[in-house]
Amino acid sequence: MMSGSTRRVELVLKNRFLSYLIWQSIHSSLIFISLLSFFTSPHYPFLSFLLFLPSHLLFSATLSFIASPHPRPRFTLSLLFATVSAFSAALSLSAAAPAAHTLPGVSRLGFRGFLVGSLFGAHYVFKRRWVLHFPIIQRPPFFSFKMGVPSAARRALKLSVVASIFSGILLELLPHPFNYSVAATGRFFTEQITSFAATFAIFFSWELTHHLHWVLHTKRFIFAPPKGSAVAETNPKTSETYKRVIVVCLKPLEHLATKLGEGLGNPVDKATQLSNQLLSPTDARPDLKHIEELHNFQLYAWCSRTAASLTACSRKDDKFGVAQLSGSNAAVVSTLLSCLLAVENFMGKKTNLQSPNQLLGPAGIKWATVNSGRVDVAAGKRSGPVNSKAYAIADVLKISIYQIVSAFHDEMLAGAKASLLEKDWVTNGKPLFGTREMLIQKLCLFLDFRAT
């Protein structure tokens, strides 16, 4: 059974996706009517519209799918997007600019649309345009969308010129059953003009869809009720919304720490730890299914930076202490530390607990020495794309933890002197990876700015 908060989160995501498709359908319909209606066959305009609009809905849904965090490999998603772009352009071009009222003429334009759609999809994937870049200056969504229309038109014009030349050359060179006599010069030039206009309209609609998706997913979200409302006066900052956001951000990181712990052996499991110590360095390799967890780097980066930023901002913006009293701060720090220990363990760095005498500093703060962790890097992990992903994830996790430590440094120091650091910043119970003592020791290293 799903909890009420999970249902509400899923409902919000569903409504946002539906609103994205609705607004995309509006501008696609306007482009079809205003720019392409006089190119469409006068006998079947409604049928052409029924082909044009669903093809753009398919493209929009795939764009949202590839741009959203997903556990599937990026290569698979990129191939899916390029394929959908090709088929969507084939349907759109054959519907919007038929060269003739015969099947060969429509099929020729469909084949040309497949070529231009493949070019657009390859360009989109190669430029990694699915990655969201959050604006420094926040503006209302409508104003942000309006400001992006000229740049979308310019980009669509450039791509349509290249795609028209590219597809025109390939259409004449590649063998296909849709050729017609070269003597039909007028028919040839008519096709070039209508194809270019239709390609520009298709690319312009797709660019607006991309920009609309960016605007909707980078707008500012305010947890507190609107100022001046009755709720703002009686209950100015409830913890339910904040806790739901934190839970959603920490879920992928918890999944990563758990899976890596299963693949390499969690230090809590003594039998697994002993069996791993008996293996030679070259044999200490995780299963491939656990290695695949590291490929979803973008999702882990978004989740860790979002959770850390919200926690750091709560230092000044959370006047009622919601983040601290609800346990969200301890959950964030514990999850980030557990995930970091799991990734470092994957890279071959084994962290050993120090004795209490080694952890005492001159200021009465418990910390570990710089070489507190025994480094044992397996031979097969020194290089390669998998190890690069692990190092990248570890760097993001360290930056996120340092962001929190920098914001709460004075409070953490005071808590460490009073032996309350673990009470305020580490959750009770068994961590996702390692032990509670290991998390406290790692946090002390960050507190002393010595975690590398």
Domains of the chain, by residue range, sit at: 4-217, 239-447
Q: Give the three-class secondary structure for 350.
A: strand
Q: What is the pLDDT of residue 354?
A: 60
Nearest one of 340, 436, 350 to 394, comparing CA atoms? 340
User: Residue 244: what are its φ and ψ, rounded to 5°?
Assistant: -65, -40
Residue 217: what pLDDT? Answer: 83
* β strands within 354-403, DSSP E: 373-375
Helix axes 328-347, 239-264, angle to 10 degrees: 20
Q: What is the pLDDT of residue 365?
A: 43
Residue 418 confidence (pLDDT): 82
What pLDDT shows up at residue 280? 46
Which residue numbers in the chain have pLDDT < 50? 1-5, 42, 100, 182-183, 268-284, 286, 355-383
Residue 74 confidence (pLDDT) = 73
Residue range 150-160, pLDDT digits in tens? 999 999 999 99
pLDDT of residue 271: 46
pLDDT tens digit string along 56-94? 999 999 998 888 766 566 788 889 999 999 999 998 888
Q: Backbone dihedral region of 279: left (phi > 0), alpha (psi from -120 to 50 degrees) or beta?
A: beta
Match 């973008």 to its residue by tokens: 298
